[in-house]
Amino acid sequence: MRKVKVLVLYGHGINCDNETSKAFELAGAYAEKVHTNELIENSNKLDTYDILAFPGGFSFGDDIAAGKIHAVKFKYRLRENLSRFIADKKLIIGICNGFQIMVKLGILPGIDNDYWTEKVTLTFNDSGKFEDRWVYLKIGKSPCTFTKDIQGLYLPVRHGEGKFYTNQGILNKLKKNNLVAIRYVGANNEKNPGYPFNPNGSLDDIAGICDPSGRIFGIMPHPEAYIYKENHPRHTREKLPEEGMGLKIFRNAVKYVKDNL
Amino acid sequence: MHTIEVTFNSALKDPFVGNKRKEILGLGLPVQSVKEIFLYTIDKEFTKKELTSLAKELFSDPLIQEFSVDKSMLNKFHWDWLIYVNNLPGVKDNVGDRSQEAIEDILSVEFNKGEAVYTSKYYLINGDLTRKDVDKIAKEAFAYESVESWHILDRETYSEKGFTPEIPKVLIKHQPQISEFNLNTSGELLKLSKQKNLALNLQEMKKIKEYFSKIDVIKARRKMGFNEKPTDSELEVLAQTWSEHCKHKIFNAYVTYTDGVKTEHVNSLFKTYIRSSTEKLQKKLKWIVSTLWDNSGVIQFNDKYLFAFKCETHNSPSSKYPYGGALTGIVGVYRDPMGTGKGVKLIYGTYGFCTSEPNYNGPIKPEIHPKRLLEGVRKGVQDGGNKHGVPTPYGIVFFDNGYLGKPAIYVLAAGIIPRTINGESGAEKQPNPGDLIVMCGGKVGIDGIHGATESSMEGGAHITLGHVQMGDPYTQKKMHDFLNEARDKCLYTCIQDCGAGGLSSSVGEMGYNFGRKGGAKGFKLYLDRVPLKYKGLDPWQILVSESQERMIVSILPEKLKEFMKLAQKHEVESTVLGELNSSGKFHTIYNDKPVTFLDMHFVHEGVPQLELEAKWITPQTRGLREPQIPKIKNHTKFLKEMLSRPNIAGKEYIVRQFDHEVQATSVIKHLVGEKSDVYSDGVVIRPDFESNKAIAIAAGINPKYSQIDTYHMTANAFDEAIRRVIALGGDIKKIVLNDNFCWPSPLPGKDNPDAKYKMAQLVRANRALFDYTIAYGTPCISGKDSMSMDATIPDLNGKKHRISSLPTAMFSSAGIIDDYKKCVTMDVKKPGDLVFVLGETYDECGGSEYYEMFKEIGLNVPVVRAKKTVKLYRALSKAIKKGLVASAHGCYKGGLGIALAQTSFAGGYGLDIDLNSIPREKINDEDRILYSESASRFIVTVSKKHEKLFREIMKGIEFGLVGKVTNNRTFTAKGLQGKVIIKENIDILKKAWKEPFGKM
């Protein structure tokens, strides 16, 4: 069977590259860490992969705004390569800082066939604080490849700029096209749970979105932070499956490539 | 020059503005609103079109922000007062630097030397305020005097005159020069030391004078183009290398100790107590790989990796600029393990914040209020750790008003190195003669000059601010990733941190300490090759500047090309500065002119030994007694008051703002229990996904006991650090420690009348370290001291007071866990489980939280009974490994009462406890049983089915079955007479514990 090849970006202050690679490996893929500068230097390199992952971290120190400078780099140095990758119907996932890069680049939500204009943003949490806490998530009805057959997740958020925001028009479009892949909910699936369940004040409790194809996905919480049972904060007192819940996201991606590409 | 202004538009509330407003209200000033405008000032020519594109594409977010180009927005908004906050010249502007990088990417241009981007801020304030009020706001909430300037304008003045911000460009109109000093003027030596801020004493200055008048030295120097006078650089090199910070002169002093009865002599506390203990244990414990010579100690972790860790303090800089001080501290300490052996991959960091109470409202007026200080250092470690991609899973916070002068700010870093790299041990380094010396990382500026000498001085106005700096975790993270890759490709032979003392210390040590067996001894360094932030630095400044984020490596010439290529990929500036040799000389050159030519041996070994006297005064002689304290009338109420005490209460807000889970290695977190909101005894991380081995992480500290006896203070801190690891499932056979001594100066002087007593406290602390490391078999593999925890600060009336902190020993522990799946947490797990107390309770309330509640110190300080303790720790480890223990929690500050309540409310079940069954000796008083702080005790819950086995393992240990876990939410304790004395809902108890810091 073919080996699914994942490009996990690193360098420039990205810092979840190791565990993101590990998550893809556990899901059966071959993951390779590649520096953004290697992609710029070798313009065909990206073409050889099936999945592109923008991991979490603090690219460029979160300076000016989280994800902004890295987005600028992609826009001005790698636009063609990335366009080709999208046109080839390959998969892209952005986690936390990766999600911030993707929305500032515009490849999310990618509505109206426009992948290069910022239409939604992720900005400072309402609390004004960086927070590391676990949140309950509900998967919405969406074309998202990564969240297929998942109902809910429990994962940590670790960010200071995770508040999802956009204007009413865009929000309506997101909802109409079922692009809100994932929302913050209460411990018992309650809607509009408020802080700290919605940890950052995100509009409409949005924690992750996908593009209309479902192949491009961004999520604020960290699925790669819960790949082993013992990553769970209460594993010493609750009955939990051996496999971390976050792994499903990566399994879905690998399966999609095997079935479709 | 162009300015782009950016601010949040009306779509969203700016969350920081809300926080800023709260801060101002906290100062008791009436403020209605605050608005912030961010300024990017670009010192380079661009067209209007280019600037607008930059404002749109880079500097603002179209959905939530608005911008203006070369035209101020100030007129657009209503405000009464304007505060403009700007960096002082030379302070690192991280956002500005990154903006420049991005502009270069977008517009495909390059910034020339001298061109740059600067950031600054406007705060627009509405409110009925006077200029004095606004000045207070600027000084106490918005800006730090040590690194920022501010300008205040009222609306009227602005309308009349406008305002043009100035950029803090560094322009040194000075031709670099090399000065010489005449040491042959008798009596002027000390004056010279003071003038140049060298912090060298007369004896040391004389030694230097003697060196430079030696015939062979003069001869050798003449040959190299010097005359007989030392250069400024040479004096600086010696001052840095001989500083207390680098040479630990107090720990190496010859001490005469008397306790009034007999007199003893100790030739170096370090060698006698610390070094000898570590060496003794290293002989016995084969898994200890390397100690006492490198930047940190190294042990075996698993079959693939070694483990190294080191804890530092950054007290002086943090007292002046808490954010920058702590940020530079954590980012700086990372470089210790990064420069250990062949260089680690960082796997975790921890913190320790000892400040005075955040609500301090006494007469002494420190420059920065403790509340602001604590928040500043917290934020510094947050940004340093989070942006470096290193989890910060654990730390301690301790309040005592002795820290009003100087806080003790601890930062620890740990990492792993492959056991072997290309056939060589990962713990070895071998700089060879002929290797090139390469500097990696940031550029050099005047920031951080004299860090090593100034941190060795007492706090006060005479401290210049050269040593206050701004760390840049982004730049260092890039360097970390780069160096890890270079290491695995064997591209360098030796790696060394460039920290205190700058190039002078780092290259100095590389060319001396590390060159074992035929290695390099001496070097030649070209100072004109050092990349500078701006022109005008004298060679001595280049040599001793402590500009951050730099590492030094030595490279075989044939590997240089590959090394530089990799550096380019990672965007890490790397420059060849010179080469190592075997000359035995500290040789530097600037534009072909000789700068230093010193014997390496003299630089490193020449410092004369201090002689210090130590005089112990017993606690009884100091007037300490056991106090008469009223019986506790309402135990339930008292317990809640104890839970709310600042040194006991939970501080979840601190834990949550550190990324404690990055790298996905976290397996026991600092917050555990039914709601994941109660402190665990420590944390566990598993740094290698392919192995079940893990590291249990904790620390021990309680300087309050220093008020009675520093011997026991040290013993208790030591025991606590180990106890916490044992509670998680650690094994006393595999625990290592890092010792940190933060001490008030024991150097005699007219403003330090009890110097001898402080020295005696230090002697006793070191004896405890020796006694207990040996008794437990747990060595200190790394350590650090900070010997000037004093400052002179004014009170309300301007009268000056010398404030010294309590002598503080902190131990950071790391325990190797064989199987992380067997670790336990402190929260009770299920109703019906049996509650055991392990270890005896004695009448030991001296220095306790309980006595402090009554403003008493007492005399009966807890004594650590090593033999019994080791036996108990072994037994508990065994029980946990066998899976018999549902929860284990050590007793710490506040004693059994606090620990029982915590384990209950963390688990979400009540407890039924009978105080009669608590194992104890000569103590028959409920108050003391509950709140005595005797060491080495645990509360353990065990399921009924494991009771028999558990009791078997505990044979020979003092322990008692004291109650059980109930199926309700009520915590109940029966007193010695069989009467219920505490009965309370656990949610109410938890609230008491969480509330004091609940709104931070």
Mutate to test the interface with A, among B63, B549, B820 (most CBs of A within 10 A): B63
Type and span of the H or E element at A26: helix A17-26
- Write down which residue in B161, B196, B212 finishes a domain: B161
Q: Rounded CA gap, B306 and B303, in Å?
A: 8
Q: Determine the residue of chain B that is closest to A199 in CA distance.
A: B656
> What's the gap in Å between the CA of A28 and the closest CA on chain B?
16
Q: Is there a contact between A236 and B824 if contact means CB atoms under 8 Å apart?
A: yes
Take residue B951 and report the two structure tokens written for it.
Answer: 């009791």
Q: Is the pLDDT of residue B246 over 90?
A: no
pLDDT (tens digit per residue) in B771-794: 999 999 999 999 999 999 999 999
Q: Rounded CA gap, B334 and B699, in Å?
A: 18
Domain positions in chain A: 5-260
> How does residue B812 score in pLDDT terms, banded at 50, 70 and 90?
very high
Q: Which of B63, B105, B666 sits opposite A121 (nearest CB)?
A: B63
Q: Determine the residue of chain A that is closest to B20 in CA distance.
A: A128
Q: Looking at beta carbons, which residues of chain A come within 8 Å of B18? A: 128
Q: Determine the residue of chain B that is closest to A166 in CA distance.
A: B63
Take residue B444 and report the two structure tokens written for it.
Answer: 């050099």
What pLDDT does B228 receive? 87
Mutate to test the interface with A, among B7, B99, B104, B659 (most CBs of A within 10 A): B659
State the count of interchain CB pairs (< 8 A) between A and B. 178
Give me the residues of B, 376-395, that contact A with CB < 8 A: 382, 386-389
Q: Rounded CA gap, A131 and A156, in Å?
A: 9
> What's the gap in Å between the CA of B663 and the closest CA on chain A?
6
- What count of other Cβ atoms lies within 10 Å of the Cβ of residue B822? 16
Q: Encode burial over A125-162: b for 16+ CB neighbours within 10 A, e otherwise.
A: bbbbbbbbbbbbbbbbebbbbbbbebeebbbbbbbbbb
What pLDDT does B466 receive? 59
Q: Looking at beta carbons, which residues of chain B come within 8 Å of A130? A: 382, 386, 657, 659
Q: Is there a contact between B674 and A12 if contact means CB atoms under 8 Å apart?
A: no
What pLDDT does A194 receive? 97
B592 inside domain: no
What pLDDT does B463 receive? 39
What pLDDT does B186 receive? 63
Q: Determine the residue of chain A that is closest to B482 in CA distance.
A: A11
> What's the gap in Å between the CA of A123 and the closest CA on chain B?
9
Q: Is there a contact between B661 and A13 if contact means CB atoms under 8 Å apart?
A: no
Q: Looking at beta carbons, which residues of chain A come within 8 Å of B965? A: none
What pLDDT does B462 receive? 40
Collapsed DSSP state (helix, strand, coil) of residue A32: strand
What pLDDT does B400 receive? 97
B907 inside domain: yes
Q: Is there a contact between B571 and A131 if contact means CB atoms under 8 Å apart?
A: no
B816 inside domain: no
Q: Determine the residue of chain B that is closest to A60 in CA distance.
A: B474
Type and span of the H or E element at B643: helix B635-643
Q: Is the pLDDT of residue B451 over 80?
A: no
DSSP label at residue A227? S
What pLDDT does B501 receive? 83
- Computed from CA positions of residues A150, A152, A154, A155, in that sequence, does the dihedral angle turn out positive or negative? positive
Q: Is there a contact between B99 and A64 if contact means CB atoms under 8 Å apart?
A: yes
3-class SS shares of chain A: helix, strand, coil, % to 5: 35, 25, 45
Residue B2 backbone dihedrals phi, psi, to 5 degrees: -135, 150
Give me the residues of B, 932-991, that contact A with CB < 8 A: none
The interaxial angle of helices B986-994 and B895-907, nearest 10 deg, is: 110
Q: Which of A241-250, B513-522, B642-651, B939-948 has the lowest mean pLDDT?
A: B513-522
- What count of other Cβ atoms lies within 10 Å of the Cβ of residue A111? 20
> How does residue B467 score in pLDDT terms, banded at 50, 70 and 90?
low
Give me the residues of B, 562-581, that contact A with CB < 8 A: 569-571
Q: Is there a contact between A158 and B661 if contact means CB atoms under 8 Å apart?
A: yes
pLDDT (tens digit per residue) in A225-243: 999 999 999 999 999 999 9
Q: Is there a contact between B659 and A132 if contact means CB atoms under 8 Å apart?
A: yes
Average pLDDT, chain A: 96
Give me the residues of B, 652-711, that contact A with CB < 8 A: 653, 655-664, 666-669, 671-674, 676, 686, 689
List the one residue out of B650, B488, B662 whose CA is nearest residue B563: B488
What is the rounded end-to-end Cα distance, in angstroms, of chain A?
12
Per-range mean pLDDT, top range of B211-220, B533-542, B807-816: B807-816
Q: CB-hemisphere CA count at 13 Å for B136?
A: 15
Q: Is the pLDDT of residue B536 over 50?
A: yes
Q: Which of B19, B474, B671 sits opposite A13 (nearest CB)?
A: B474
Q: Looking at beta carbons, which residues of chain A come within 8 Å of B662? A: 15-16, 56, 158, 225
Alpha helices in B285-432 (DSSP H): 315-320, 322-338, 370-386
> What's the gap in Å between the CA of B65 and the closest CA on chain A?
11
B155 inside domain: yes
- The C-alpha angle B721, B725, B730, rounded to 5 degrees, equals 145
> How does residue B547 score in pLDDT terms, banded at 50, 70 and 90?
confident
pLDDT (tens digit per residue) in A36-48: 999 999 989 999 9
Beta carbons of B300 and B419 less than 8 angstroms apart: yes
Q: What is the CATH number of domain A5-260?
A: 3.40.50.880
List the one residue out of A243, A220, A239 whose CA is nearest residue A231: A243
B983 inside domain: yes
Q: Which of B105, B474, B660 sits opposite A61 (nearest CB)?
A: B474
Q: What is the mean pLDDT of residues B840-845?
A: 98
Per DSSP, what are the bridge partners of residue A93? A53, A217
- Write down which residue in B117, B136, B161 finishes a domain: B161
Task: Tell how strand A91-95 and strand A216-219 pair up.
Answer: parallel
- Write down which residue in B161, B180, B213 finishes a domain: B161
Q: Is there a contact between B61 and A118 if contact means CB atoms under 8 Å apart?
A: yes
Q: Is there a contact between B671 and A236 if contact means CB atoms under 8 Å apart?
A: no
List the one residue out of B354, B407, B548, B538 whose CA is nearest residue B468: B548
ipTM over 0.95: yes
Lookup result for tokens 């530079």: B328
Q: CB-hemisphere CA count at 13 Å for B417?
A: 33
Q: What is the mean pLDDT of residues B531-537?
A: 89
Q: Is there a contact between B659 and A158 if contact means CB atoms under 8 Å apart?
A: yes
Average pLDDT, chain B: 94
What pLDDT does B508 receive? 87
What pLDDT does B174 receive? 84
> How does residue B459 score in pLDDT terms, banded at 50, 70 and 90?
low
> What's the gap in Å between the CA of B205 and the closest CA on chain A?
45
B900 inside domain: yes
- Count of domains forming chain B: 2
Give me the residues of B, 463-482, that contact A with CB < 8 A: 472-474, 477-478, 481
Q: Rounded CA gap, B803 and B459, in Å?
A: 10
Mutate to test the interface with A, among B60, B97, B387 (most CBs of A within 10 A): B387
Q: Rounded CA gap, B348 and B341, in Å?
A: 18
Q: Which of B94, B658, B666 sits opposite A63 (nearest CB)?
A: B94
Task: Tell how strand B790-794 and strand B305-313 pair up.
Answer: unpaired
Q: Rounded CA gap, B692 and B677, in Å?
A: 26
Catalytic residues of A: 96, 222, 224
Q: Rounded CA gap, B689 and B581, in Å?
A: 42
Q: Is there a contact between A64 and B95 if contact means CB atoms under 8 Å apart?
A: yes
Q: Determine the residue of chain A that is closest to B825 in CA distance.
A: A236
| Amino acid residing at B619 | P
Q: Rounded CA gap, B40 and B463, in Å?
A: 32
| Amino acid residing at B502 | G
Q: Is there a contact between A134 and B676 if contact means CB atoms under 8 Å apart?
A: yes
- Computed from CA positions of residues A38, A42, A44, A48, in that sequence, does the dihedral angle turn out positive or negative? negative
User: Between B499 and B671, where is the model more confident?
Assistant: B671
What pLDDT does B173 receive? 82
Beta carbons of B757 and B800 less than 8 angstroms apart: no
Q: What is the mean pLDDT of residues B290-314?
A: 96
Q: Rounded CA gap, B659 and B657, in Å?
A: 6
Q: Is the pLDDT of residue B450 over 70?
A: no
List the one residue out of B141, B128, B140 whose CA is nearest residue B21: B141
Q: Is B293 within 8 Å of chain A by CB?
A: no
- Going through B217-304 in order, the beta strands assigned E by DSSP cover 254-258, 263-267, 288-290, 297-300
Collapsed DSSP state (helix, strand, coil) of residue B632: coil
Q: Is the pLDDT of residue A151 over 80?
A: yes
Q: Looking at beta carbons, which residues of chain A come within 8 Å of B61? A: 65, 68, 104, 118, 121, 123
pLDDT (tens digit per residue) in B926-982: 999 999 999 999 999 999 999 999 999 999 999 999 999 999 999 999 999 999 999
Q: Is there a contact between A123 and B477 if contact means CB atoms under 8 Å apart?
A: no
B558 inside domain: no
> How does residue B192 score in pLDDT terms, banded at 50, 70 and 90?
confident
- Going through B17-74 in order, the beta strands assigned E by DSSP cover 33-43, 65-69
- CATH label of the domain that carries residue B872: 3.90.650.10
Q: Rounded CA gap, B134 and B82, in Å?
A: 9
- Computed from CA positions of residues B985, B988, B992, B993, in that sequence, does the dihedral angle turn out positive or negative? positive
Q: Which of B478, B674, B821 sits opposite A13 (nearest CB)?
A: B478
Q: Looking at beta carbons, which residues of chain B come within 8 Å of A128? A: 15-16, 18-19
For residue B80, the enclosing domain spans: 2-161
Q: Which of B571, B660, B689 sits opposite A22 (nearest CB)?
A: B689
What pLDDT does B456 receive? 55
- The two most distant CA atoms of chain B are separated, in Å, by 90
Collapsed DSSP state (helix, strand, coil) of residue B131: helix
Collapsed DSSP state (helix, strand, coil) of residue A48: helix
- CATH label of the domain that carries residue B124: 3.30.1280.10
Q: Is there a contact between B674 and A234 if contact means CB atoms under 8 Å apart?
A: yes
What pLDDT does B464 receive? 44
Q: Is there a contact between A125 and B15 if contact means CB atoms under 8 Å apart?
A: yes
DSSP label at residue B356? S
pLDDT (tens digit per residue) in B589-607: 999 999 999 999 999 999 9
